[in-house]
Amino acid sequence: MSRIESTYKIPVMRDLLAKKLTRPVVGSLVGCVHCGMCNEACHYVLTHPDDPKMTPSFKVDQLRKLFKYNYDWTGKAFPWWVGAKEPLTDADLDVLKDIAFGTCTNCRRCTLNCPMGVDTAVLNRIMRGLLSSVGVMPEGVRVVSKDQWEIGNQMGVLKEDYLETLEWMSDELVGEVEDETARIPVDRKDCDVIYTINPREAKYDPRTIAAAAKIFWAAAESWTMPSEGWDQTNFGLFSGDDQLGGASARRVYEKMKELNAKRIVISECGHGYRSTRCEGPNWAGVDQDFEMESSVFTMLRYVKEGRIAVDPTRLGQRVTYHDSCNLARSCGITEEPRELLRTVATDFVEMIPNRAENFCCTGGGGAMSMSEYTPRRLKSARIKADQIAATGAKIVVTSCHNCVDGLNDLIKHYKLGCEVKQLVDLVADALVIEECAVKKKPKVVLEMPKPDMPLKGRRILVVDDEADIRVFLRTVLEDAGAEVYEAADGNAAIAEARRHKPDLITLDLSMEHKDGIETFAELRSDDELADIPVCVVTGHPEFREVIYSRAVPPPDGYKDKPVKEEELVEAVWRILGLHNHKVHV
Ligand code: SF4
Ligand code: SF4
């Protein structure tokens, strides 16, 4: 480790930090009260309990010291008291490098658990950016960033190799489905969809490209893949380099405009989605006047619109779902992947905890490119390994290529004996081609006009411990034509549901004896009652997360009290599928 004085590096970092001091950033810098409530949220802390350097607050205190030393009045007045300090030597910077890149995957789980709203991952990314700006970064980060700058994708895949891979996958697909129109279109203009991928797919896992192509073909989609600007990932998110972030995102947007596509579809990748869909327009300084979506949404839409048909019984193995930190925690995508997964799998078990509270796969934040930290990373992966093992699943499904690598690594290390797949693999394998749009005219779902008595002939069980609410709900639903039964608590609800087999249950959450959360779990785990749609009607929105994080299928609808008459009828009408009318056009 060198002890050379950092004569030019510190002023560069200091100036760059000044440009990053937005109101939310300063809020996170000054907001930490060192309460330690976030410690238990971090997989590094949980697996290194005796090492205080693993706590989220310690990691970003290093940035705080620099901030206070240069920009905060407390640091100028009482530097010794508030710990205001600047790194002095290259050796100091190496220590900061180890902390910023090697002890945090920027997963943001601590952020979610901080009462002060401190965004540790944002601060850690800033520290990474400061270090990167003066060339202090792990070798892997340097190589990957260079490839993305110079070659246009972060794995250095040459254009001819990429095009050859598409050709190879086209040949295989055409052979499989015996249809020349299944060939992957490249640089076709005026399509509805331009499909962008993670370079990992072109380099190591091209079958996911073929799987996506099969789904687009089956759905009779008007689509293309670009010959340039196809890398939806962005190492700028990991290295903290906003300029790289902007340049990478701009390549994708410019190609999309050149080809005049209507929508960018982003293959299953957590950080790619976050970079391209959420952060990219800011980094690139472009107005987002075009559509972008994750391929999870695209596939789910095809299923719902009847453009593809899938057989959920083919899989025959237990699956669980791993939420990517970027998709679930940073972008709020939690329900759509599950909805899609349930169309292609019959035995789905949730990991606990899940959704926004899920633990990182430990491959996030660019960790897979930093081999010097692999032992520490794999040690921290024990949390995720235990989560997976508890499900008994043979297949771990995830909508993120980074997570695929992180999970594969830990599954091998902890000898879990399961495999990792993505939704695109499962959907492609489950396709019932004869029922898909490519083989017949597509089914289109038309909205039915709502009749005067939209719930006529439907039987609904109203569960609420307040008599006046039950009267209100009964009146509204009966006026809409429904036959209504009532229950005042969870035990009565189960008994009434068994007796009347209603078409739908409205469920209050806060009730005496047996509350709605317990009742809901019991309904979902009862073979006889599990399929009855449930619409939660509650005056306690704080329970929403609780009921949606159960290890059972989520409620079919949710309404906050006080609920308006028209809104309740509309929700029930839609949950019962009375608004859809399938026709052939
Ligand atoms: S980041 Fe938040 S939760 Fe963690 S120590 Fe600071 S104030 Fe407490
Ligand atoms: S962002 Fe994730 S890895 Fe980093 S300190 Fe917070 S919980 Fe730990």
Which pLDDT tens digit goes with each residue over 192-225?
Answer: 999 999 999 999 999 999 999 999 999 999 999 9
Atom of ligand 2 nearest to the CA of 43: 8
**Ligand 1 centre and the CA of 334: distance in Å?**
25
Q: Is the pLDDT of residue 583 over 60?
A: no
36 lines ligand 1 (CB under 6 A): yes
33 lines ligand 1 (CB under 6 A): yes
Ligand 1: residue of 25, 29, 32 to mutate (most ligand atoms within 8 A of CB) is 32
Which pLDDT tens digit goes with each residue over 359-387?
Answer: 999 999 999 999 999 999 999 999 999 99
| Atom 2, ligand 1: residue with shortest CA distance | 114
Q: Is the pLDDT of residue 585 over 50?
A: no
Q: Is the pLDDT of residue 256 over 60?
A: yes
Indicate the range of 39-43, 454-458, 531-535, 538-542 predicted with least confidence: 538-542
Residue 185 to residue 224: CA distance in whole angstroms: 5
Phi and psi at residue 225, in whole multiples of 5°?
Answer: -115, 140
Q: Is the pLDDT of residue 27 over 50?
A: yes
32 lines ligand 1 (CB under 6 A): yes
Q: Is the pLDDT of residue 581 over 70?
A: no
Decide if 29 contacts 71 (C-beta within 8 A): no
Which pLDDT tens digit goes with each residue over 101-129?
Answer: 999 999 999 999 999 999 999 999 999 99
**Ligand 1 centre and the CA of 111: distance in Å?**
8
Phi and psi at residue 345, in whole multiples of 5°?
Answer: -145, 140
Residue bearing tokens 């076709």: 188
Residue 215 to residue 515: CA distance in whole angstroms: 43
pLDDT at 556: 86
Q: What is the mean pLDDT of the segment spanning 44-58? A: 97
Residues 6+ away with beta carbon under 8 Å from 511: 463, 464, 465, 488, 489, 490, 519
**Ligand 2 centre and the CA of 61: distance in Å?**
13
Name the pLDDT band for 301 (thresholds 50, 70, 90). very high
pLDDT at 551: 62
Query: Packing angle between helix 23-31 and helix 56-71, nearest 10 degrees?
Result: 110
Query: Packing angle between helix 207-218 and helix 423-430, nearest 10 degrees?
Result: 50
The pTM of the full predicted model, rounded to 2 decimals, is 0.76
Task: Please give the mean pLDDT across all residues of the chain.
Answer: 93
> Amino acid letter at 302?
Y
User: Which long-range contacts link 255-259 to residues 24+ away (Cβ below 8 Å)?
Assistant: 255/194, 255/226, 255/228, 255/229, 255/230, 256/194, 256/226, 256/229, 256/290, 257/290, 259/187, 259/188, 259/189, 259/190, 259/191, 259/194, 259/224, 259/226
Atom of ligand 1 nearest to the CA of 113: 3
The encoded tokens of residue 152 equal 């246009």
**Ligand 2 centre and the CA of 288: distance in Å?**
30
